[in-house]
Chain A
Amino acid sequence: METLFLPLVNGLTWAMMVFLVASGLSLVFGVLKILNFAHGGFFMLGVYLTYTFIRNHALSPLKFFLIVFLCGIILAIIGAILERLIIRRFYQLDEAYMLIATYALLLVIEGSVEGIWGLQFLALPSPKGLGGGTEIFNTIIPSYSLVIIAAGVAVAVLLNLLINRSPAGKIIRAAAGDPDMTSALGINVPIIYTMIFAFGIFLAAIGGGIGAPNQAITPTMASSFIIQAFGVVVVGGLGNIGGAFLAAIILGLVDSFGTIYLPQIPGIAFYAAMALILLVKPHGLFESSISTK
């Protein structure tokens, strides 16, 4: 039991961590058609900002998540300003230029984090009561893993409701599918773009804050997460948040079981699974759900 259950939980934890990054990435791509390297940078900023407020205090879960939320808002505002000043200049660029421009932004963020917070590695305590383990099926599971899994599922459900069931979602889908027509209907598309970008940053930042107690905080953490998130977004089908959710779970489980059953080739399982899925379905598991073209 343990040999199956444990990697399952670990794989799901990893999957939801990556999904928290990937959800914003996928949303922004779906509407703005930007595949944003810098998204990983905002994830990292979320981690560092949360750390700055909490440091080594074990707070109550309520306070902890309030701070994470607050950091998300702060970074979303910064994101909105950045969108108006710089990001919107990327929209008319060719795909390659856009990838490189956002990569440049990632480098700038990495450099700034080094400058502001220094090179020292950091670690964040879990909220009170969530720092230990819980016994399920005779197996100890870190309680905080369950928090991360729950957070991932909650974000997936809320995003689905927001996009497919709410009036705001209608406008978002319209702006993604046909910006000309939406604009002709008197809706201010540029403002919607700003808001979507800021919302994507918010998701990245709270993903960072929620995940922070799960690993070391280092100024180079952005690059490793962004590539995994890219993989998940592409396998799920660019712009399809549900697809990203499923892809995260598939790739997370492949990676987790891979390290246990194929220890000779660690790290390959993730990329091999990704390449295999794209071989069979060259455009990901699902079409974009936001902009149905």
Chain B
Amino acid sequence: MKRGFSRLLAALTISLLVMVLVAGCGGQKKESAPSEGKKAEGKEPIKFGVIVPLSGSQAILGEEMERGAKIAVKQVNDAGGIMGRPVELVIRDTKANPDTGVAVARELLSQGINMYFGVASSAVALAVSPLMEKEKGVIITTAAHSDRLTHQNFNKHYFRITDNPYMRERAMAKLMAERYPNTTKWGCIIPDHEYGRSTWDNFEAGLKKYYPEIAKKELEIVSVQRAPYGATDYKNFITAVLNSKAKGVFTSEYGGDAVTMFRQAVPYAFFDKIDVMVDSANEFLVPKAMGNMTPPHWIGTHWYYEAYKDSPMAKKVYDEYVKEYKDKYPTGWVGEAHSALMAYKAAIEKAKATDTDAVIKALEGLTFDSVSGKRTIRAEDHQTIKDVNIIHVVPVKEEPGWKVDEFKVYKGDDLIEPPSPGKPLKLE
């Protein structure tokens, strides 16, 4: 009986694996086939490597990027491809792990694919970026916010299509000075590592610049709470902020940690006791999780579709997303992955070539149309100058329990730091 069972289990597992393998390969073929491109058929396709985290704790970012990329490819192919050639995506899972990221990138590089986009974690980006330099590839990241990528560790083969923390935090600080001039006591709950500290440093620098300038008020930082990364209990930090009488609170906790922090703050009536809460990192993740428990707060986002209602491109991406994924709230990562392909399209059409050197040259200083209006890629450090979107969410009675009641758009040119590739970022 025992042997029989073991064999049965083995047979089951093996057949499952075979099924999955077949499905995996089949699915790959299907997804990379050009979608009924009318004019684009018959020519050799242009291939892009999409390397995103699709398992592990960052999978939720990777999934949204993959969706944005697929929508972009469908639209490009429907409109005749790039220079008459159809576009194909080869999607790979980085597992948010640098060695897997390098392994999949190397594999695709050796198949002759030279253009890449995606990547959520800075560690993966820091591993893949020098590889691109060495192996003559080019990558546009759609998250990965460590400032080292465009400063100390910069190389010509790396591009960032998104806004960076410097721009976003400054925009949010400016908004606070404009809208809450009387909120002069500020505090924060941030993850205790470089990303957390640098977002706060940028935000604090912004507050110190804009409060005297715009609100004509002196500013006081009353509580800086650094929570250990991956903490399961934020109550001690929450009470510390409350006791400090801070009226404005900033957070860059992210993912599940942010949801835990927001959730645990509810019983303290935390959000009733402060004037304003600012989340710089989580797009729609917190409201989507919290539903009708969502407190009113401001969220920094890469792309908010309503802000670009008049743009046909934004509307098409939004409609396609809603239709395809049955979800009315695409996060900014959808827009960033879409924009990465749009940048490639514009660059290839400008250069009339797809080889790495020509594409890099064309990308530098390129201005192109994206779901959030015109974007310009700065030639010096390959950081994109683009709008920063900030949204305000409030709880409502009807499903899903929250809505966006206001948004603000800040132009990137006024906010961005001066380029200093090769040198560390300096805060004023």
Contact = CB atoms under 8 A, between A and B. Distances in A.
Direct contact, A vs B (beta carbon within 8 Å): yes
A43 to B, nearest CB: 13
B59 interface: yes
Interface in A1-19: 2, 6-7, 10, 13-14
8 contacts: A55-B291, A126-B267, A133-B269, A140-B239, A259-B233, A260-B236, A266-B228, A267-B231
Given A56-B292, A142-B264, A121 B236 contact: no
Residue among A2, A131, A132, A215 with the most chain B CB within 10 A? Answer: A215
Contacts, number: 116
Contacts of B2: 89
Given A119-B60, A142-B264, A267-B229, 14 more contacts: A7-B236, A13-B235, A121-B288, A122-B259, A122-B289, A123-B262, A132-B267, A132-B269, A133-B267, A140-B239, A214-B263, A220-B56, A259-B227, A266-B228
B365 interface: no
Interface string A128-150: 00011100000110111100000
A13 B266 CA distance: 16
B235 A224 contact: no
A26 interface: no
A263 B226 contact: yes
A119 B52 CA distance: 15
B311 to A, nearest CB: 28
B236 A215 contact: no
A221 interface: yes
Contacts of B256: 121, 216, 218, 220-221
Q: How many B residues are at the interface, by size bracket? A: 35 or more
A224 B192 CA distance: 18
A241 to B, nearest CB: 23
B205 interface: no
Nearest to B259: A216
8 nearest A-B residue pairs (beta carbon): A266-B228, A216-B259, A142-B267, A218-B256, A56-B291, A121-B289, A216-B260, A119-B60
B232 interface: yes
B257 interface: yes
Interface string B337-372: 000000000000000000000000000000000000
B126 interface: no
B299 to A, nearest CB: 14
B255 interface: yes
B239 to A, nearest CB: 6
Interface in A169-225: 213-218, 220-221, 224-225
The bracket for how many chain A residues form the interface is 35 or more
Interface of B: 2, 5-6, 55-57, 59-60, 63, 192, 226-233, 235-236, 239, 243, 255-260, 262-264, 266-269, 285, 288-293, 401
Contact of A121 (B63, B231, B259): B259
A119 B232 contact: no
Contacts of A123: 259, 262-263, 289-291, 293
Given A121-B256, A214-B264, A142 B235 contact: yes
Contacts of B56: 220
Contacts of B233: 10, 13-14, 256, 259
Contacts of A10: 233, 235-236
B239 A216 contact: no
Contacts of A114: 55, 59
Interface string A68-109: 000000000000000001000100000000000000000000
Residue in B192, B259, B267 whose Cβ sees the most chain A Cβ within 10 Å? B267
A125 interface: yes
A125 B401 CA distance: 12
B268 A140 contact: yes
A119 B239 contact: no
Interface string A17-61: 000000000000000000000000000000000000001100000
Nearest to A130: B267
A137 B56 CA distance: 42
Given A123-B259, A216-B259, A131 B267 contact: yes
A283 to B, nearest CB: 28
B57 A218 contact: yes
